[in-house]
Amino acid sequence: MFQGHGLLGLVRAGGPTMYLLLGCSVLSLAVIVERSICYWINSPVTRRTFVAALVKALRKGGRDEALAVCAKVSAPFARVAAAGLSRPGAGAAVAMEREIELQTMLLERRISIVGTIGSVAVYLGLLGTVLGIIQAFGDVSQGSGEAMNAVTAGVAQALLTTAAGLVVAVPAVVAYNYFVRRIDLFVSDMELCASEVREAMEAEER
């Protein structure tokens, strides 16, 4: 029934709900691409490589040289280390904790959109299913001469919106779970880095 239809043709055939699903798909894809690029940019080096370079710089040239190492790395744990190195004494631990919270908020930005779309798209597909069936049986109740065709078209619309809802929802849910896992790894790296930087600063002050 839908052979020869392009994307726009399928959207029109699926009814009003398809336009909502198309909008959700575009928004979800945009956020997935943006967050993927963000996480890639924020992973230039491993935490171990960074900490080794920082400790070496701290021993060789003090905090100024260690801060210079932090400035060259775009990873969240580098910003946490820089926050600690910029504050003397006991204030370093507090500064790093606050920076971890800030970086976590930045990493989590917009991923709730993907998670919400992953949940809502399924229900939008079901809504399209219900509307299609209602329309089909409404045409039958009016005694249309082409009642069977009306039922067939309505069921086809229902199946199309259900499929579209799943097509939008599944990648969004997978991406959301992946992003949550990546954020957990970022947070673990930041916490470990804060601990290692604190130990390095204490060793330097002895």
Residues in the chain predicted with pLDDT less than 70, given as ranges, are: 1-14, 139-154, 205-206
Which residue range is the domain that position 199 belongs to?
A: 7-205
Q: How many domains does the chain have?
A: 1
Q: In this predicted structure, what is the pLDDT of residue 37? A: 96
The pTM of this model reads 0.83
Q: Is 24 part of a structural domain of the chain?
A: yes
The predicted structure's pLDDT at residue 140: 64
Give me the helix-helix angle, 111-141 and 16-41, nearest 10°: 170
Q: What confidence score (pLDDT) does residue 82 get?
A: 95
pLDDT, tens digit (0-9, with 9 covering 90-100), for 6-57 = 556 666 666 788 889 999 999 999 999 999 999 999 998 999 999 999 999 9
1, part of any domain: no
Q: What is the C-alpha separation between 34 and 4, in angstroms, rounded? A: 33
Instruction: Look at residue 102 and tell me if it is in a domain.
Output: yes
Q: Is residue 125 part of a domain?
A: yes
Q: What is the C-alpha to C-alpha distance for residues 11 and 156, in angstroms, rounded to an integer?
A: 13
Q: Is residue 2 part of a domain?
A: no
| 115 within some domain | yes
